[in-house]
Amino acid sequence: MKKLLSFVLVIFLLIAVYFLVWPVPVDPVAWKAPPNAGYHGPFARNELLKGIEFLKIGANHGPEDVALDNAGRIYVTSHEGFIVRLQPDGTRPENWVNTKGRPLGIDFDNSGNLIVADAFRGLLSISATGEIEELAKVADGVPVRYADDVDCAADGKIYFSDASTKFGAMDSGGTMEGSLLEIMEHKGNGRLLVYDPAARKAKTMLSGLVFANGVAVSHDQNYVLVNDTGNYRIIRYWIAGPRAGQSETIIENLPGFPDNISTGLDGRFWVALISPRNQLVDNLSDKPFLRKMVQRMPKFVRPRATAYGHIIAIDGRGRVVKDLQDPNTSYPQNTSVTETKDFLYIGSLISPVLARLSKSKLGL
């Protein structure tokens, strides 16, 4: 009996030592999560996202972002590294180009090149003939470890996000893994960058973001919006006018984690919320030591994304003008919204198909 008790005690001590001192990649800092108002007010639960249709993207999955060329053809990114191209009617998917990385956000520049934020390779440009050029892998001497989203301005400059300078997507084992580490640590390793084609280099516009995510240039080209995902908010960074170089929060305390943001029509900006907020993450926001202990737990019990379909549209003042939800979604982990004259194309981190929603069903 004494031997058994001694054995149990040793096991208990080993477990305690593991949870107290075992090295983990994160070094969490204390912060205060805003009270979660949940799905009320402008975010009252609804099922307006239920009418989506699905477009095949071949043997690929994870259509993170969508862009359309001047001919109306549809381009989506994928986990397999392919840029998948569909015809304007959404048929005949083809593996157009493989970046040999993990392409995330995409946008066409003024010359018809597809600009890609590749989480593994940095900022890329793909010509109409499929030739790949690396534009930026470093900004201000710091490697771009997690290029996430991108938007091209009318003057040719390219704004993009480096989600985390510490937890790169490749080094962390994937895009989701890197995002969870950045949010759990909460030190603000993310930044908003701009690439100047004339100077052929990138520089930092805004730093200190907790998983810098979606990027959208405003309709009037005066500012850029960037999603500060880990803080449940969207920040406006002024690039023109008397406030150039200044930043401010345009909307905060969102009910979920904002992923990509895009410039839509009629003054709208579309935001995809990849998952509702996690109560454990909020409760432990001011307890960095406990967050470190959570990181030592098996992966399957740590906080992770929850399936909940949700996209919103805001105006230039940060007011919610459209809220579309599907609580029991068959299309989980929404990552982006691309608006055209007739449709909303909706990206996903994990889906094997691309979703779109007819705007006629929404009165848009």
Domain boundary assignment for the chain:
2-361
Edge-to-edge strand list for the sheet holding 94-98: 66-68, 74-77, 82-86, 94-98
pLDDT at position 249: 98
pLDDT bin (cut points 50, 70, 90) of residue 297 is confident
**pLDDT of amino acid 300:** 79
Instruction: State what percent of residues in the chain have pLDDT above 70.
Output: 94
pLDDT of residue 120: 98
Helices (H), 142-300: 175-185, 279-283, 288-295
pLDDT at residue 310, rounded to an integer: 97
Q: Is residue 175's pLDDT more than 70?
A: yes
The backbone torsions φ and ψ at residue 180, rounded to the nearest 5 degrees and listed phi first, read -65, -40
Please give the pLDDT value at position 137: 98
pLDDT tops 60 at residue 15: no
pTM of the model: 0.94
Percent above pLDDT 90 for the chain: 86
Mean pLDDT for the chain? 94
Which of the four pLDDT bands, split at 50, 70 and 90, describes residue 327? very high
Domain 2-361 has CATH 3.50.50.60: no
Question: Could you give the C-alpha distances from 142 to 30, 138, 178, 340, in angstroms and in order?
Answer: 25, 5, 17, 36
Q: What is the pLDDT of residue 70?
A: 96
Res. 173: pLDDT tops 60: yes
